[in-house]
Amino acid sequence: MKFFHHRDTFRRDLWAALGGLCQAGSMGLPFHGGAHGALQWLAMLILAHLTLSSRTSRACVRGAFVFQSVALAMTFWWIFISLHVYGEMNALLAAFGVFALACALALYWCGFAWLFYQWGVLPCVGEHLSEPLPKDTTLKKPMSSSGGALQIFRQRAFLSSLFAASWLLSELCRAQWFTGFPWGSSGYAHNDTWMALGAPYLGVYGIGAFSAFLGMWVAHVLWLKTRAHTDSGTSALREIFKHSPLVAWVVLPLLSLVVWPLVVHKAHVEPIGSQGGAGQALSVELLQGNVPQQTKFRNDRFTAAQWYYDQMVSSKAELVVTPETAFAMTLDELPRNFLEAMQNRLVPKAQAVLFGIPSKDGQAYANSALGLVGASSEVYRYDKVHLVPFGEFIPPFFRWFTDQMQMPLGFFNPGPVGQRSLKFSGQRIAPNICYEDLFGEELAVQFLDKDEAPSILVNLSNIAWFGDTVILDQHLEISRMRTLELRRPMIRATNSGATAVIDHLGQVRVLAPAFQRQKVSASVEGRFEEPTFFAWWAARWGLLPLWGLGLWVLGVGGLGRLWARAKSR
C-alpha cells in the first residue's frame, strides 16, 4: 500500500510541476515569445483539480508548493544570468539564490491554499476524502433532484469564488509585500484573450482571479463526474474522455482563448486615433544603444554617451528617448556645457529629448530621466519611484549576498509617487523606469487629476543584465497590460530590447530587433479620454479594493465554517 501511496504522490507532483511549467510559459515561451492565455488557464485548471482532489491538507500544500515554486523559478530563471555571468557569483550560489527566491514567494500561495482547503474543500467535499470529516460538514452528496442541482450550483460557486479570492490574495502579497515582485502575475498571459476586456476595470490581478474562478468551476464539474471512478481505481483522465459533454467543459474555454485573438484581430489593428480622444500625432525616435553590460559602467560609458548625444542632437524627430542610464554617469562627470550645448541644438519649442541618467543631490543619488524642451532653460526631471532590490538598494540583512557579486550596485533614493508629466507639443508625457511598469496602481496615481493625466506613457529600461532571454518578451507583455489598464499608448526605449511602440489598445505597432544598435522612428498619438475605471479607483486607493474583495470572500468562507461548527455543538 505504501508503494501505491508513493506512486500517487509522485504522479501528483508531476502534474503540479507540469501546471507550473504551463503557468511560466504562458507569459512567454522560450524562442517563441508572447502571451498564451490558453496555456495559463490550463495551468489554473490543473492547479484547481489538484487542490480539489487532495486527500489531505498536507497533500494540498505540497501540490501548491510544487506548482508555484516551479512556475516562479521558470518565470524568472534569467536572474541567474545577472548573478553569475555579470555579477561573477558562484554558479551554485546563484542558482540557489534564484530557487530560494521562488520557494520563498511560493509560500504565499501555500498559505492561502491551506486556508482554501480548510474552509472550502473539507466542508464541501470532505466526505469523499480520506482525511476525517470535520463535525461541521453540512454539504452532502449531490442528488438528482432540483434541490440537489441547486446545492451543486451553490457548492460550485462557493468553491470557485473562494479559490479565486485565495489566488488573488496570494498574488497581491507577492505584488506588495517586501517592496513587491509581481513578475509573472497570471493576468499578463491574457493580453490577447477575451479576459483582457476586464483590464480597464479590474486590472491584471482581477483578470488573474477570474481565470482562477473559471479554472475551479470547470475542475469541480470534472471532479463530480469522475470521483467515483477515481476512487475505484479507474483512470480519471480516461473517464473524462468517455463523457463528451465533459470534454466540452475543457475544450470550449481553451478554444475561446485561442480563437479570440484571431477573431478580433482586425478590430484591434485599427489606426491609432481612429476613435475619439486622440491628440495630434507626435513623431518620436527611440534609441537602442546595445551597450554591453560588461563595460557599460566602465570602459564603454563615455563612448556610449557620445553616441547617444550625437543621435539626440542630429535627430529630426519631435521627441527623442534614450534607455535607462544611457548616460552611465552623473551630470558632474559630463562636460560643464553638456545641457546648454544640447539645448542649443534643439529646434526651439519644436523638439524635446528624454534621456536616462543618474542624478546626484549632495550625497544622495537617484535613477532619473531628464527632459529638455527646445531652447528652454528648464530641465524636467523624473526620479524612479519603485527601486529594484539588490540592484538599486540592498535590503536589510542581505549585504553578505551582494558581497558575492562583482557588479556596480546603485544606492538610490526613491522619487515621490505621482510626479508631474513632461508637457510638450500639447502632450503630457509620463516616464517610468525599468520594472516600474509592473506597478499599474502606482502609474494610476498620475490620473488622479484628469486634467493633468498623461496622454503618453514612456518606459526607459535596461534589462540587458539578463541576456537575450524570454525576459524581453515578458517585459513587453507587462507594458502591454499597462496600456490596456490605462488606455494610453506606451513607447519603450531600451538598451537591448524590447524597444517598441504600443498603442492604447495594447497592440505592438513597432518593434526593434533585439541586441542590435537601432534608431526606431514612429508616429504616436496621445490619448485624452477620461481615465479608465481601473485608473480611477487605483489612483485613489491603490490595490486596497482588491485586498478588500479578496479578504471579504475569504472571510465569508471562514465565518461560514465557524457558524457551521457552532450549530453542530
Domain boundaries, given as residue ranges, for the chain: 10-263+546-568, 280-531
pLDDT tens digits for 133-165?
444 444 444 433 344 677 888 888 899 999 999
Say what the pLDDT of residue 178 is: 87
**Beta carbons within 8 Å of 380's beta carbon, 6+ residues apart:** 354, 370, 371, 372, 373, 422
> What DSSP line would sit under 368-395, residue for residue?
EEEEEETT-S-EEEEE-SSPPBTTTB--
What are 263's three cell numbers? 477573431
Q: How far apart are the first and last CA of the chain?
A: 37
pLDDT value of residue 158 = 92
Distance CA 41, CA 257 (A): 9
Name the maximum alpha-carbon separation found in the chain.
Answer: 85
- State the catalytic residue, choosing from 384, 436, 477, 485: 384
Closest to 190 in 3D by CA, of 212, 221, 211: 211
Q: What are phi and psi of 105, to 5 degrees?
A: -70, -25
The four Cα atoms 370, 514, 444, 101 give a dihedral, to 10 degrees, of: -110
Determine the pLDDT at residue 293: 73
Nine cell digits for residue 446: 498620475
Whether residue 5 contacts residue 12, with contact meaning beta carbons closer than 8 Å, is answered with: no
From 324, 392, 436, 525, the catalytic residue: 324
φ and ψ at 383, to 5 degrees? -105, 135
The superfamily in CATH containing domain 280-531 is Carbon-nitrogen hydrolase (3.60.110.10)
SS3 443: helix
What is the per-residue pLDDT for 546? Answer: 97
What is the secondary structure of 275-340 as a DSSP string? STTEEEEEEEEEEE----HHHHTTTTHHHHHHHHHHHHHH--SSEEE--TTSS-S-GGGS-TTHHH
In three-state secondary structure terms, 360 is strand
Q: Active site includes 60?
A: no
pLDDT at residue 569 in the model: 58
Residues in the chain: 569
Q: Is 384 part of the annotated catalytic residue set?
A: yes
What gap in Å lies between CA 62 and CA 50, rounded to an integer? 10
Distance CA 337, CA 343 (A): 10
Asked whether the beta carbons of 532 and 443 are under 8 A apart, the reply is: no
Question: What is the per-residue pLDDT for 269?
Answer: 43
Which residue of the set 318, 434, 442, 485 is catalytic? 434
pLDDT digit string (tens) for the chain, length 569 residues: 454 456 778 889 999 999 999 999 998 887 767 888 999 999 999 999 999 988 889 999 999 999 999 999 999 999 898 888 877 788 898 899 899 999 999 999 999 999 999 988 888 776 555 444 444 444 444 433 344 677 888 888 899 999 999 999 999 999 999 888 999 999 999 999 999 999 999 999 999 999 999 999 999 888 877 665 554 444 555 555 555 565 666 777 887 887 777 666 544 444 333 345 666 789 999 999 998 876 656 666 778 888 998 899 888 999 999 999 888 888 888 888 888 888 888 877 688 999 999 888 877 788 899 999 986 778 899 999 988 776 665 555 555 454 555 555 457 788 888 899 999 988 999 999 998 999 999 999 999 998 899 999 999 999 888 888 899 999 999 999 999 999 999 999 999 978 999 999 999 999 999 999 999 999 999 999 999 999 999 999 999 999 999 999 998 887 877 776 666 65
Q: Is 131 a catalytic residue?
A: no
| pLDDT of amino acid 277 | 61
- Note the pLDDT of residue 530: 92
Q: Over the stretch 461-494, which tens digit does the pLDDT of each residue have?
A: 998 888 888 999 999 999 999 999 999 999 999 9
Q: For the beta carbon of residue 566, count every other beta carbon within 10 angstroms.
A: 9
